Amino acid sequence: MIYIHIPFCKQKCSYCNFHFSTSLHSKDKVLEALCKEIDLRKDELQNKTLKTLYFGGGTPSMLSVDELKKIMDHLLIYFDFSHDIEITLEANPDDLTSAYVKDLSQSSINRLSIGVQSFFDADLQLMNRAHNASQADAAIKRAQDSGLDNISIDLIYGSPTSNLELWKKNLNKVVELQVPHLSSYALTIEPKTALNQWVNSGKIVAPNEAHQNEEFFWMSQFLKEHGFEHYEISNFALPGFQSKHNSAYWRYEPYLGLGPSAHSYNGHNERSWNVSNNIIYAQNILNHQLPLEREMLTESDRYNEALMIGLRTKIGVCVEGFKNQFSEKILTYFQKVIAPKLDSGNLIIENGFLKIPEKHWFMADGIASDLFFVE
């Protein structure tokens, strides 16, 4: 699978600390470098038949469909697309005009991940989103009318401008619009963001964890009642609409990340990531140099990551699989640290898989980190 990072946005969301630029001055050079990076790294994926391709960002829908096609055509020089490939484009509602959606429907892109975040303008204004609530509603309907019905939307809960009743209305909107996939995240205060400054200055109050917990579990129950599977802590899907791309991440499959700040994993013991600077990225690539850093994963790194990722999913972690992956030292430690959490009910083993019961999913990251092996 391949991930392509498009590092451009119209404006900076108040909660975001991802790599992007609001200036398009370097866009042509970055896109030229993206195609060149494909040339330079074509042999890093052994499987030349792609099952998933994901345009993330940033805001990939800031590119024209012709620009997106140019990248895909360049990939096809070296790779094949499987007959059922999932090609996802992250898009903002304000970009999904009638003309743009029409062009998308005639391209190879067959899945949209729309950054709605909320169907209420007060939330969107706090988040400094470029769209309003009516644009979000219209964009979803417009995409569906064009035949692009494999749609995921993002929603954020726990905002200081929201409450449980408004959150219920957001989720009712998901059902009313017949959206088949939802990714939903608690509003978090990240360093070096506007939200962080506002909280520190007292302009807004920090999100309330108890309220977020309540909204998380209400969401899970409500969506299950409407046919959704809660297949990962932050992800819900109707039958047949699970994200193939994200599911491959959670299975620890190899992937190639292209573009500024994009990460890659070789499926064994190496991760790499590109520099988070558009100008330096383009200059290096166009000079036939890869502006990336590499990290060799230790056994404890791989063990810790497998727990962190696997315990966020409905399936959990295969205990037998662990026996084939890790040394006796790690396995002995693993058995020791899971014992008290099995006794307390924070962990269970079902059909050979270690998992966190759904009632404890809100604490999943903390539970997983308690099991980490530290050298």
Q: Determine the Cα–Cα distance for residues 180 and 251; give it in Å rounded to an integer.
A: 22
Inform me whether the pLDDT recorded for 65 exceeds 90: yes
How confident is the model at residue 16, as a pLDDT? 77
> Residue 353 maps to which CATH number?
1.10.10
Q: Determine the Cα–Cα distance for residues 205 and 6; give it in Å rounded to an integer.
A: 32
Evaluate whether residue 259 is within a structural domain.
no
206 and 345 within one domain: no
Evaluate whether residue 271 is within a structural domain.
no
Residue in 8, 105, 13, 128 with CA at minimum distance from that of residue 57: 8
Task: Please give the single-letter amino acid code of residue 102.
Answer: K
Inform me whether the pLDDT recorded for 281 exceeds 80: yes
229 and 167 within one domain: yes
28 and 151 within one domain: yes
236 and 116 within one domain: yes
Inform me whether the pLDDT recorded for 363 exceeds 90: no
How confident is the model at residue 169, as a pLDDT? 97
196 and 125 within one domain: yes
Tell me phi and psi for residue 80, to 5 degrees: -105, 150
Asked whether 53 and 227 are in contact (CB, 8 A), the reply is: no
Inform me whether the pLDDT recorded for 147 exceeds 90: yes
**Segment 262-270 mean pLDDT:** 92
Q: What band does 250 get if pLDDT is binned at 50, 70 and 90? A: confident
Residue in 30, 33, 85, 79 with CA at minimum distance from that of residue 58: 30
How confident is the model at residue 144, as a pLDDT? 97
Q: Determine the Cα–Cα distance for residues 137 and 132; give it in Å rounded to an integer.
A: 9
Compute CA 153 distance to the chain's CA centroid, rounded to the nearest angstrom: 11
How confident is the model at residue 204, as a pLDDT? 86
**Residue 199: exposed, middle, or buried by beta-carbon count in 10 A (0-12, 13-18, 19+)?**
middle
66 and 208 within one domain: yes
338 and 212 within one domain: no
How confident is the model at residue 324, as a pLDDT? 86
Evaluate whether residue 261 is within a structural domain.
no
How confident is the model at residue 150, as a pLDDT? 97
Asked whether 29 and 282 are in contact (CB, 8 A), the reply is: yes
Q: Determine the Cα–Cα distance for residues 146 and 133; give it in Å rounded to an integer.
A: 20
315 and 244 within one domain: no
Inform me whether the pLDDT recorded for 264 exceeds 80: yes
> Residue 103 maps to which CATH number?
3.30.750.200
How confident is the model at residue 39, as a pLDDT? 97
How confident is the model at residue 209, as a pLDDT? 87
332 and 206 within one domain: no
Q: Which tokens is 177 given?
A: 């619009």
How confident is the model at residue 106, as a pLDDT? 95
Inform me whether the pLDDT recorded for 194 exceeds 80: yes
Name residues whose C-beta falls within 8 Å of residue 80's C-beta, 6 or more positions apart in sequence: 48, 49, 50
Parent domain of 17 = 2-250
Evaluate whether residue 291 is within a structural domain.
no
Inform me whether the pLDDT recorded for 29 exceeds 90: yes
Helices 328-344, 299-310: crossing angle, 10 deg rounding? 30
Tell me the torsion sign for CA atoms 39, 44, 50, 55: negative
How confident is the model at residue 371, as a pLDDT? 95
- Domain end: 215, 250, 285, which one? 250
DSSP states of 226-255: TT-EEEETTEEE-TT---HHHHHHHTT--B
Number of structural domains (the chain) is 2
How confident is the model at residue 22, as a pLDDT? 77
173 and 51 within one domain: yes
Asked whether 45 and 98 are in contact (CB, 8 A), the reply is: no
Q: What band does 205 get if pLDDT is binned at 50, 70 and 90? A: confident
Asked whether 78 and 50 are in contact (CB, 8 A), the reply is: no
Q: Which tokens is 160 given?
A: 């200081």
Evaluate whether residue 280 is within a structural domain.
no
Evaluate whether residue 38 is within a structural domain.
yes
123 and 66 within one domain: yes
Angle, CA of 307, 49 and 31, to the nearest 5°: 90
Evaluate whether residue 53 is within a structural domain.
yes
Residue in 247, 244, 264, 246 with CA at minimum distance from that of residue 255: 264
How confident is the model at residue 134, as a pLDDT? 94
How confident is the model at residue 338, as a pLDDT? 95
Q: What is the mean pLDDT of the chain?
A: 93
How confident is the model at residue 91, as a pLDDT? 97
Q: What is the β-pairing status of strands 2-6 and 256-258?
A: parallel
How confident is the model at residue 234, as a pLDDT? 94
Q: What band does 262 get if pLDDT is binned at 50, 70 and 90? A: very high
**Segment 88-107 mean pLDDT:** 96
Asked whether 90 and 60 are in contact (CB, 8 A), the reply is: yes
245 and 100 within one domain: yes
Evaluate whether residue 276 is within a structural domain.
no
Percent of the chain with pLDDT over 90: 79
How confident is the model at residue 330, as a pLDDT? 94
pTM over 0.85: yes
How confident is the model at residue 14, as a pLDDT? 79
For the stretch 222-260, what's the b/e string if a residue is b when 16 or more beta carbons lie within 10 angstroms of its beta carbon?
bbeeeebebbbbebbbbeebbbbbbbbbbebebbbbbbb
Q: Picking from 10-24, 307-321, 329-343, which range would have the lowest pLDDT averaged per residue?
A: 10-24
DSSP states of 97-164: -HHHHHHHHTSS--EEEEEEE-SSHHHHHHTT-SS-HHHHHHHHHHHHHTT---EEEEEEE--TT--H
